[in-house]
Amino acid sequence: MDTLLTGLRAAGEPTRLRLLALCAHGELTVTELTQILGQSQPRVSRHLKLLCDGGFLDRIREGSWVFYRLSDDGACAHLGRTLVDLIPEGDPVQALDLKRLETVKRARAERAASYFRANAARWNEIRSLYVSETDVEKALLAMVGDDLVEDYLDIGTGSGRLLELLAPMVRRGTGIDLSKEMLSVARANLESAALRHCQVRHGDMYNLSLPNDSADLVTLHQVLHYADNPPAAIAEACRVLKPGGRLIVVDFAPHELEFLREEHAHRRLGFADDDIAEWCRQAGLELADVRHLEGDPLTVSIWPAQKSAATETGEWLQ
Protein backbone atom coordinates (compact mmCIF):
# COMPACT_ATOMS: atom_id res chain seq x y z
CA MET A 1 0.00 0.00 0.00
CA ASP A 2 2.77 2.45 0.95
CA THR A 3 4.61 1.79 -2.31
CA LEU A 4 1.46 2.45 -4.32
CA LEU A 5 0.72 5.70 -2.49
CA THR A 6 4.32 6.89 -2.85
CA GLY A 7 4.23 6.09 -6.55
CA LEU A 8 0.96 7.92 -7.08
CA ARG A 9 2.35 11.01 -5.34
CA ALA A 10 5.47 10.90 -7.53
CA ALA A 11 3.46 10.66 -10.76
CA GLY A 12 0.52 12.83 -9.72
CA GLU A 13 1.65 16.09 -11.36
CA PRO A 14 0.87 17.25 -14.93
CA THR A 15 4.45 17.57 -16.19
CA ARG A 16 5.55 14.29 -14.63
CA LEU A 17 2.58 12.45 -16.15
CA ARG A 18 3.48 13.93 -19.55
CA LEU A 19 7.07 12.76 -19.08
CA LEU A 20 5.88 9.25 -18.25
CA ALA A 21 3.78 9.15 -21.41
CA LEU A 22 6.66 10.36 -23.58
CA CYS A 23 9.20 7.93 -22.12
CA ALA A 24 6.76 5.09 -22.78
CA HIS A 25 7.47 5.69 -26.48
CA GLY A 26 11.22 5.10 -26.27
CA GLU A 27 14.46 6.46 -24.83
CA LEU A 28 14.74 10.25 -24.74
CA THR A 29 17.39 12.70 -23.55
CA VAL A 30 16.79 15.70 -21.31
CA THR A 31 17.39 17.98 -24.30
CA GLU A 32 14.77 16.17 -26.37
CA LEU A 33 12.26 16.26 -23.52
CA THR A 34 12.77 19.99 -22.96
CA GLN A 35 12.19 20.59 -26.68
CA ILE A 36 8.94 18.65 -26.55
CA LEU A 37 7.60 20.13 -23.30
CA GLY A 38 8.81 23.69 -23.92
CA GLN A 39 10.09 23.94 -20.34
CA SER A 40 13.49 24.79 -18.90
CA GLN A 41 16.09 22.06 -18.52
CA PRO A 42 16.45 22.48 -14.72
CA ARG A 43 12.70 22.08 -14.27
CA VAL A 44 12.50 19.02 -16.52
CA SER A 45 15.55 17.50 -14.82
CA ARG A 46 13.94 17.97 -11.41
CA HIS A 47 10.77 16.18 -12.52
CA LEU A 48 12.82 13.38 -14.09
CA LYS A 49 14.73 12.87 -10.84
CA LEU A 50 11.49 12.50 -8.92
CA LEU A 51 10.22 9.92 -11.41
CA CYS A 52 13.50 7.99 -11.24
CA ASP A 53 13.49 8.09 -7.44
CA GLY A 54 9.91 6.83 -7.55
CA GLY A 55 10.90 3.84 -9.68
CA PHE A 56 8.99 4.90 -12.80
CA LEU A 57 11.95 5.72 -15.06
CA ASP A 58 15.39 4.26 -15.70
CA ARG A 59 18.27 6.70 -16.11
CA ILE A 60 21.06 5.55 -18.45
CA ARG A 61 24.24 7.59 -18.81
CA GLU A 62 26.38 7.34 -21.95
CA GLY A 63 29.32 9.71 -21.66
CA SER A 64 27.90 13.23 -21.45
CA TRP A 65 24.44 12.05 -22.57
CA VAL A 66 21.70 10.68 -20.31
CA PHE A 67 18.72 8.71 -21.62
CA TYR A 68 15.43 8.12 -19.83
CA ARG A 69 13.01 5.29 -20.46
CA LEU A 70 10.00 3.78 -18.72
CA SER A 71 11.22 1.19 -16.24
CA ASP A 72 10.61 -2.48 -17.00
CA ASP A 73 11.28 -3.75 -13.48
CA GLY A 74 10.36 -2.73 -9.96
CA ALA A 75 7.25 -2.11 -7.93
CA CYS A 76 6.21 1.00 -9.87
CA ALA A 77 6.99 -0.27 -13.38
CA HIS A 78 3.52 -1.77 -13.87
CA LEU A 79 1.91 1.26 -12.24
CA GLY A 80 3.70 3.54 -14.71
CA ARG A 81 2.39 1.59 -17.70
CA THR A 82 -1.11 1.59 -16.21
CA LEU A 83 -1.12 5.35 -15.69
CA VAL A 84 0.04 5.94 -19.26
CA ASP A 85 -2.70 3.64 -20.59
CA LEU A 86 -5.32 5.55 -18.57
CA ILE A 87 -4.60 8.84 -20.35
CA PRO A 88 -7.67 9.44 -22.55
CA GLU A 89 -7.12 8.86 -26.24
CA GLY A 90 -7.15 12.16 -28.08
CA ASP A 91 -6.16 14.21 -25.03
CA PRO A 92 -5.07 17.57 -26.55
CA VAL A 93 -1.98 17.97 -24.37
CA GLN A 94 -0.73 14.47 -25.13
CA ALA A 95 -1.57 14.85 -28.82
CA LEU A 96 0.65 17.94 -29.03
CA ASP A 97 3.43 16.18 -27.09
CA LEU A 98 3.33 13.19 -29.42
CA LYS A 99 3.39 15.45 -32.48
CA ARG A 100 6.52 17.14 -31.17
CA LEU A 101 7.96 13.72 -30.29
CA GLU A 102 7.58 12.63 -33.91
CA THR A 103 9.50 15.73 -35.01
CA VAL A 104 12.32 14.85 -32.61
CA LYS A 105 12.39 11.25 -33.83
CA ARG A 106 12.47 12.29 -37.48
CA ALA A 107 15.44 14.55 -36.81
CA ARG A 108 17.20 11.76 -34.93
CA ALA A 109 16.50 9.25 -37.70
CA GLU A 110 17.84 11.62 -40.34
CA ARG A 111 21.07 12.12 -38.40
CA ALA A 112 21.43 8.35 -38.13
CA ALA A 113 20.66 7.87 -41.82
CA SER A 114 23.25 10.48 -42.78
CA TYR A 115 25.89 8.67 -40.75
CA PHE A 116 24.94 5.36 -42.31
CA ARG A 117 25.06 6.79 -45.83
CA ALA A 118 28.51 8.22 -45.18
CA ASN A 119 29.83 4.83 -44.08
CA ALA A 120 27.72 2.40 -46.10
CA ALA A 121 30.34 2.04 -48.85
CA ARG A 122 32.78 0.49 -46.39
CA TRP A 123 30.32 -2.17 -45.27
CA ASN A 124 29.05 -2.88 -48.78
CA GLU A 125 32.61 -3.41 -50.01
CA ILE A 126 33.21 -6.07 -47.38
CA ARG A 127 29.80 -7.71 -47.78
CA SER A 128 30.50 -8.28 -51.46
CA LEU A 129 33.35 -10.63 -50.46
CA TYR A 130 31.30 -13.24 -48.61
CA VAL A 131 27.97 -15.04 -48.65
CA SER A 132 24.79 -13.00 -48.38
CA GLU A 133 23.61 -11.73 -45.02
CA THR A 134 20.38 -13.63 -45.64
CA ASP A 135 22.28 -16.95 -45.60
CA VAL A 136 24.18 -15.98 -42.46
CA GLU A 137 21.00 -14.90 -40.66
CA LYS A 138 19.17 -18.06 -41.70
CA ALA A 139 21.95 -20.21 -40.23
CA LEU A 140 22.01 -18.10 -37.08
CA LEU A 141 18.26 -18.41 -36.58
CA ALA A 142 18.53 -22.18 -36.95
CA MET A 143 21.13 -22.26 -34.17
CA VAL A 144 19.05 -20.10 -31.82
CA GLY A 145 16.04 -22.40 -32.25
CA ASP A 146 12.37 -21.82 -31.53
CA ASP A 147 12.36 -21.63 -27.72
CA LEU A 148 11.76 -18.18 -26.22
CA VAL A 149 14.97 -16.53 -24.94
CA GLU A 150 14.39 -14.60 -21.72
CA ASP A 151 17.46 -12.31 -21.78
CA TYR A 152 19.45 -11.72 -24.96
CA LEU A 153 22.65 -9.68 -25.25
CA ASP A 154 24.24 -8.60 -28.54
CA ILE A 155 27.81 -7.37 -27.98
CA GLY A 156 29.00 -4.92 -30.63
CA THR A 157 25.45 -4.48 -31.87
CA GLY A 158 26.29 -1.93 -34.57
CA SER A 159 23.08 -1.02 -36.39
CA GLY A 160 21.07 -3.34 -34.12
CA ARG A 161 20.31 -5.77 -36.94
CA LEU A 162 20.53 -8.90 -34.76
CA LEU A 163 18.21 -7.35 -32.19
CA GLU A 164 15.68 -6.82 -34.98
CA LEU A 165 16.22 -10.32 -36.32
CA LEU A 166 15.84 -12.11 -32.98
CA ALA A 167 13.23 -9.76 -31.47
CA PRO A 168 10.31 -12.20 -32.05
CA MET A 169 12.26 -14.89 -30.19
CA VAL A 170 13.33 -12.95 -27.07
CA ARG A 171 11.54 -11.46 -24.09
CA ARG A 172 14.21 -8.82 -23.45
CA GLY A 173 17.02 -7.80 -25.81
CA THR A 174 19.99 -5.51 -25.14
CA GLY A 175 22.64 -4.34 -27.59
CA ILE A 176 26.03 -3.00 -26.46
CA ASP A 177 28.34 -0.90 -28.62
CA LEU A 178 31.26 1.45 -28.05
CA SER A 179 30.32 3.71 -30.99
CA LYS A 180 27.78 6.36 -30.09
CA GLU A 181 27.17 6.99 -33.80
CA MET A 182 26.24 3.35 -34.36
CA LEU A 183 24.04 3.43 -31.27
CA SER A 184 22.13 6.30 -32.88
CA VAL A 185 21.61 4.13 -35.95
CA ALA A 186 20.47 1.21 -33.80
CA ARG A 187 18.05 3.33 -31.78
CA ALA A 188 16.48 4.70 -34.94
CA ASN A 189 16.10 1.19 -36.36
CA LEU A 190 14.55 -0.21 -33.17
CA GLU A 191 12.13 2.70 -32.91
CA SER A 192 11.14 2.33 -36.54
CA ALA A 193 10.39 -1.35 -35.93
CA ALA A 194 8.53 -0.53 -32.65
CA LEU A 195 10.65 -3.03 -30.70
CA ARG A 196 10.11 -1.67 -27.21
CA HIS A 197 11.40 -4.80 -25.54
CA CYS A 198 14.82 -4.21 -27.10
CA GLN A 199 17.26 -1.49 -26.13
CA VAL A 200 20.86 -0.46 -26.78
CA ARG A 201 23.56 0.76 -24.41
CA HIS A 202 26.98 2.32 -24.64
CA GLY A 203 29.54 -0.14 -23.31
CA ASP A 204 32.90 -1.86 -23.59
CA MET A 205 32.94 -5.53 -24.59
CA TYR A 206 35.86 -6.14 -22.20
CA ASN A 207 34.07 -4.59 -19.24
CA LEU A 208 30.32 -5.00 -19.54
CA SER A 209 28.29 -3.13 -16.94
CA LEU A 210 26.09 -6.19 -16.47
CA PRO A 211 25.90 -8.63 -13.55
CA ASN A 212 27.25 -12.17 -13.62
CA ASP A 213 24.91 -14.89 -14.90
CA SER A 214 22.37 -12.45 -16.38
CA ALA A 215 21.98 -13.48 -20.05
CA ASP A 216 20.55 -16.63 -21.63
CA LEU A 217 22.01 -15.90 -25.07
CA VAL A 218 24.95 -13.72 -26.13
CA THR A 219 26.06 -12.98 -29.69
CA LEU A 220 29.33 -11.57 -31.04
CA HIS A 221 28.50 -10.88 -34.68
CA GLN A 222 31.42 -9.67 -36.85
CA VAL A 223 33.03 -8.14 -33.76
CA LEU A 224 36.08 -10.21 -32.83
CA HIS A 225 38.12 -9.19 -35.89
CA TYR A 226 38.16 -5.65 -34.46
CA ALA A 227 39.22 -6.84 -31.00
CA ASP A 228 42.69 -6.34 -29.56
CA ASN A 229 42.10 -9.26 -27.20
CA PRO A 230 39.52 -11.77 -28.55
CA PRO A 231 39.97 -14.29 -25.68
CA ALA A 232 39.15 -11.57 -23.14
CA ALA A 233 36.02 -10.60 -25.10
CA ILE A 234 34.85 -14.23 -25.08
CA ALA A 235 35.63 -14.55 -21.37
CA GLU A 236 33.61 -11.43 -20.58
CA ALA A 237 30.71 -12.77 -22.64
CA CYS A 238 30.90 -16.00 -20.65
CA ARG A 239 30.86 -14.07 -17.37
CA VAL A 240 27.44 -12.58 -18.08
CA LEU A 241 25.99 -15.85 -19.36
CA LYS A 242 23.77 -17.86 -17.06
CA PRO A 243 24.87 -21.45 -16.39
CA GLY A 244 23.65 -23.39 -19.40
CA GLY A 245 23.46 -20.18 -21.45
CA ARG A 246 24.73 -19.97 -25.03
CA LEU A 247 27.27 -17.84 -26.89
CA ILE A 248 27.20 -17.59 -30.68
CA VAL A 249 30.23 -16.06 -32.41
CA VAL A 250 29.98 -15.07 -36.08
CA ASP A 251 33.15 -14.00 -37.87
CA PHE A 252 35.49 -14.77 -40.74
CA ALA A 253 37.57 -17.89 -41.16
CA PRO A 254 41.33 -17.21 -41.68
CA HIS A 255 42.08 -15.22 -44.83
CA GLU A 256 44.82 -13.07 -46.36
CA LEU A 257 43.01 -9.87 -47.35
CA GLU A 258 45.42 -7.36 -45.86
CA PHE A 259 43.43 -4.40 -47.17
CA LEU A 260 40.76 -5.15 -44.56
CA ARG A 261 43.37 -4.45 -41.89
CA GLU A 262 44.83 -1.41 -43.62
CA GLU A 263 41.61 0.24 -44.83
CA HIS A 264 38.85 -1.12 -42.58
CA ALA A 265 40.51 -1.33 -39.16
CA HIS A 266 40.37 -5.13 -38.89
CA ARG A 267 42.80 -6.28 -36.21
CA ARG A 268 42.61 -9.96 -37.07
CA LEU A 269 42.37 -11.62 -40.47
CA GLY A 270 39.85 -14.28 -39.44
CA PHE A 271 39.93 -17.06 -36.86
CA ALA A 272 40.66 -20.77 -36.91
CA ASP A 273 38.26 -23.22 -35.28
CA ASP A 274 40.99 -24.44 -32.93
CA ASP A 275 41.64 -20.93 -31.62
CA ILE A 276 37.97 -20.24 -30.93
CA ALA A 277 37.60 -23.66 -29.29
CA GLU A 278 40.57 -23.01 -26.99
CA TRP A 279 39.39 -19.55 -25.98
CA CYS A 280 35.93 -20.96 -25.25
CA ARG A 281 37.45 -23.75 -23.18
CA GLN A 282 39.49 -21.27 -21.13
CA ALA A 283 36.37 -19.22 -20.48
CA GLY A 284 34.29 -22.21 -19.36
CA LEU A 285 32.40 -22.76 -22.60
CA GLU A 286 32.02 -25.90 -24.67
CA LEU A 287 32.09 -25.43 -28.43
CA ALA A 288 29.39 -27.24 -30.40
CA ASP A 289 29.08 -27.98 -34.13
CA VAL A 290 30.59 -25.18 -36.23
CA ARG A 291 29.04 -23.92 -39.47
CA HIS A 292 31.17 -22.62 -42.35
CA LEU A 293 29.44 -20.57 -45.05
CA GLU A 294 31.81 -20.24 -47.98
CA GLY A 295 32.02 -16.97 -49.90
CA ASP A 296 34.41 -15.57 -52.46
CA PRO A 297 36.97 -15.13 -51.02
CA LEU A 298 35.76 -14.81 -47.40
CA THR A 299 34.19 -17.67 -45.49
CA VAL A 300 31.86 -16.85 -42.59
CA SER A 301 32.09 -19.17 -39.60
CA ILE A 302 29.46 -19.54 -36.90
CA TRP A 303 30.74 -20.95 -33.61
CA PRO A 304 28.03 -21.90 -31.05
CA ALA A 305 29.15 -22.61 -27.48
CA GLN A 306 27.43 -23.34 -24.19
CA LYS A 307 28.35 -22.46 -20.63
CA SER A 308 28.53 -25.44 -18.33
CA ALA A 309 25.77 -25.57 -15.76
CA ALA A 310 28.49 -26.20 -13.16
CA THR A 311 30.85 -23.41 -14.29
CA GLU A 312 31.60 -20.80 -11.64
CA THR A 313 32.27 -17.25 -12.78
CA GLY A 314 35.98 -16.57 -12.79
CA GLU A 315 37.03 -20.20 -13.38
CA TRP A 316 38.65 -19.21 -16.68
CA LEU A 317 41.19 -17.15 -14.76
CA GLN A 318 42.62 -20.12 -12.89
pLDDT of residue 4: 66
Tell me: the pLDDT tens digits for 134-162?
Answer: 999 999 999 999 999 999 999 999 999 99
Same structural domain for residues 221 and 310? yes
Last residue of a domain, one of 65, 83, 101: 101
Claim to verify: residue 72 and residue 144 sit in the same structural domain: no
Whether residues 137 and 91 fall in one domain: no
Overall number of domains in the chain: 2
Amino acid 172: pLDDT = 96
For residues 67 and 196, membership in a common domain is answered with no
- For residues 107 and 237, give the distance between their C-alpha atoms in angstroms, rounded to a whole number: 34
Give the integer Cα–Cα distance in Å for 226 and 261: 9
Rounded Cα distance, 289 and 108, in Å: 41
- How many contiguous H segments (helices) and E segments (strands) does the chain have? 12, 11
145 with 67, same domain: the answer is: no
In this structure, the answer to whether residues 82 and 158 fall within a common structural domain is no
In a domain, 113, yes or no: no
Same domain? 50 vs 164: no
User: Is residue 165 very low, low, confident or very high in pLDDT (cuts 50, 70, 90)?
Assistant: very high
Residue 178 lies in a domain: yes
> Peptide bond preceding 297: is omega within 30 degrees of 0, i.e. cis?
yes
What's the rounded mean pLDDT across residues 14-27?
A: 90
Check whether 318 has a pLDDT greater than 60: no
Q: Which domain holds residue 256?
A: 129-317
Domain boundary among 101, 117, 139: 101
pLDDT at residue 310, as a whole number: 66
Mean pLDDT in residue range 223-236? 93
State the Cα–Cα distance between residues 36 and 210, nearest whole angstrom: 32
The last residue of a domain, from among 81, 101, 121: 101
How far apart are alpha carbons 80 and 290 in whole angstroms? 45
Q: Is 118 inside any structural domain?
A: no
In this structure, the answer to whether residues 176 and 263 fall within a common structural domain is yes
The 8 Å CB, 24+ separation contacts for 32-38 are 32/104, 32/108, 33/68, 35/100, 35/104, 36/97, 36/100, 36/101, 36/104, 37/97
Query: What's the CATH code of the domain at 36?
Result: 1.10.10.10
DSSP E strands, the chain? 28-29, 57-62, 65-70, 149-155, 170-177, 198-202, 215-221, 241-252, 285-287, 291-294, 299-307
Q: Are residues 138 and 276 in the same domain?
A: yes
Looking at residue 63, the DSSP 8-state letter turns out to be T
Question: In this predicted structure, what is the pLDDT of residue 8?
Answer: 74
Rounded-to-integer distance, Cα 256 and Cα 261, Å: 10
Rounded CA Rg of the chain: 21
